Amino acid sequence: MLRPTRWTTRGGLLVAGTAAALLAVATPATAGSAALYCGAGRGLTAEAAVQGAIDDAGVSASADGRFHCELDGEPQIFEVFDDPNFGHIFRASVTMSCE
């Protein structure tokens, strides 16, 4: 009966350890293919500011090859009364989950 040598045992342990490490790293990366993108916009109405923010996040996602986006949470809307260029405007921020 042949017994494994010390080098054979070490080689087998090295291969098993490397495979386990690769599986541990690869599993979270492939678990979800969606990525989060932030967008910002401004407008004379809150709706225009939110739509600008959605468009901004969508353009960023499409540059990475992700074309299907959905809102992740609620848009944040800020009313500004002293904008130096426009006076009274709205600013918005959104986070989009894109695949």
Instruction: Please say whether the beta carbons of 50 and 92 come within 8 A.
Output: yes
Please tell me the total number of residues recorded for the chain in this structure. 99
Q: Which fold has domain 34-98?
A: Endonuclease I-creI (3.10.28)
Q: What backbone phi and psi angles, to 5 degrees, belong to 65? A: 85, 20
pLDDT tens digits for 17-70?
555 554 454 444 444 689 999 999 999 999 999 999 999 999 999 999 999 999
Residue ranges covered by each domain of the chain: 34-98
Element spanning 82, H or E? strand 76-83
C-alpha angle 32-36-40 in degrees, rounded to nearest 5: 165
Q: How many beta carbons lie within 10 A of that of residue 60, not counting itself?
A: 17
The model's pTM is 0.66
C-alpha angle 7-10-12 in degrees, rounded to nearest 5: 110
